[in-house]
Structure 1
Amino acid sequence: MELVDTKEAVGHVLCHDITQIVRGKTKDAVFRKGHIVREEDIPVLLSLGKEHLYVWEQEEGMLHENEAADILREIAQGKFMTATKPKEGKIELIAERDGLLKVDTERLNQINGLGEMMVATLPSGLVVKKGDKLCGTRVIPLVIEKEKMDHARSMIGEEPLLELLPLKQVKYSVITTGSEVFKGRIQDTFTPVLIDKMSEYGCELMEHKILDDNHQEITTTIQEMLKNGAEMILCTGGMSVDPDDKTPLAIKNTGAQIVSYGAPVLPGAMFLLAYTKTRTPILGLPGCVMYAKRTIFDLVLPLLLAEIPVTKEWIADLGNGGLCRNCEVCHFPNCGFWKGV
């Protein structure tokens, strides 16, 4: 720090907050630490009784916190993100569109492990809206070695830490199976739930078929829907291990690759995910999707719409936190049931 005459302080950077106290009215900082003194600030500072100021003593090889924060911003910022102006070594990134936030957590941890700097993000895999805050970057000290910031930049490389992936508004088809629905003994209450969930993401229902428990007919219908251009197929009913539950066999017989039949999630254990050779997802949805607030379907769907490959390993990892607490007031995804990528 360096003590300078206030009248000579233009262009210098304040090392501490300068507070104004007016009894009964205000007690707040008029100038914040890191503020660069301007000509018009001088009368205000003098009116506050500040004849001298502690300012940052510029040294070769050192960066002011705002300059360093901009380097962190550059490291973190992907496309479709707006940066706020630097303030006290802090810059925030704001979403320019709806999408799924993906964070390179390995490289994020490397940055945060260096010390004297930090990047705090929303969880990777979270669906965000335009205008949402995605992350904040901050440099801890008022000044930091340029060499340290250069090291951080070189360590991370060219690719940004954050991506904002678009959610594809797919055209999907639904197959409802079960003799009880096919023969009109009960009403199909499953499909309206799926339409509501898919419409949240702007997806359009192409085709809906109600079939008996005949695995050959289910297989043929899936193949026809794929030929008709379905970008996702949702199958309901027939997902348990009862002898007359034929949906898993029907999906397998289409030639699609089964990623997982079963998931360590409650509700949602009897879930099936498969991909065709052209990477079109086919889902076998358990009955809980029809009546539970949140299920395995809510965890997987955003990744599929963002075209992030859902793997067997990712599904296996859902077990830690995979038990929904079925709270009276649902706060999903702001809870332990939600999983990112």
Structure 2
Amino acid sequence: MLRACCWPLERCFRWPGAAAGGDGLLWHLDLKPHASGDFSIAVVQANSYLEDQGQVLTSPSATFVGVFDGHGGPEASRFVNNHLFPHLHKFASEQGGISAEVIRKAFDATEEEFLHLVKRSWLSRPQIASVGSCCLVGAIADDVLYVANLGDSRAVLGRRGPDGRAVVAERLSRDHNVSEEEVRKELAELHPDDSHIVVYNRGVWRIKGIIQVSRSIGDVYLKKPDFCRDPLFQQFVCPIPLKRPVMTAEPSIKTHKLGPQDLFLIFASDGLWEQLSDEDAVDIVFKNPRSGIARRLVRAALSEAAKKREMRYDDLKKIEKGTRRHIHDDITVIVIYLDHCRGASRSDGSILDCTNAPVDIFSLNAELGEPS
């Protein structure tokens, strides 16, 4: 059902400098087919170690998308990149297809396996208990879209407006970030005896003054209070007195029946949405050619980040990873065009034939430059 054959990454992405105007930290896959259209991927690195990971799995009957945005280090996002889709495959095979319950089980299993990894290795690497990852997954099968989310990566649908000419942006995921008043209220209701569950610190709201996202894979020390009380862990991470877990790995899941008015999907880590609104991103995709569209979105975000610092885009390209993190985050963008499988016309004018489509997984694994 979800067999996946891994292609070397160099067959999928252009390497640094391969494209005209490449800045050395931007990688992209301009256009490839999936079961019901085309897709495009682009990634730009800002951190010393790339903390974003991304995947697109294509089969004759389904398309799966993953954007995994790590924090505290790359270990959790890399782990999710390697384990979530296999769990999705396993549970979908057992239950005869994809469903919200299948997705929820895959998230739970991935969280549980990462917890076991932390317990096995944290004595030698105590910091791993403080590593986590946002997790955004999309699944398209039988013209039904499932979007599951932990954290503040975001999925946005571009659909045709009422007049048939304009495009409308519809957000399909919920941001689990305490910058949202609704999320702060949710945490306050769950922790009525803790007046400091959310603290305004360093210019933003943070859970216990530490982290902005309220749901993730990992961040074990904020889910298992015993870690915070351990003297060894306290040598490496500031001790946080917890009465109970303050984060969760329970995804929010939305189901959407796709129709002819649904044109494309944008899945992206928060590095994109910090710079572009939902409407701006959808407008860019709608008004520009398909090939290289994910790269175009990344460059629009980078240009906006440079503008905020009163810089030019060409100036930003000269800044090394690590230092660049002070200007923008790692950014992963995946654009999925929705042509609908049966007899749909492709962007090149040909007819999309889903019956003989190969099964492939396009994966950004570990660091850019390392094949999956």
Q: Is TM > 0.5 for Structure 1 vs Structure 2?
A: no
Larger radius of gyration: 1
TM-score w.r.t. length of structure 2: 0.27
TM-score w.r.t. length of structure 1: 0.28
Relative contact order higher in (CA < 8 Å, ≥ 6 apart): 2
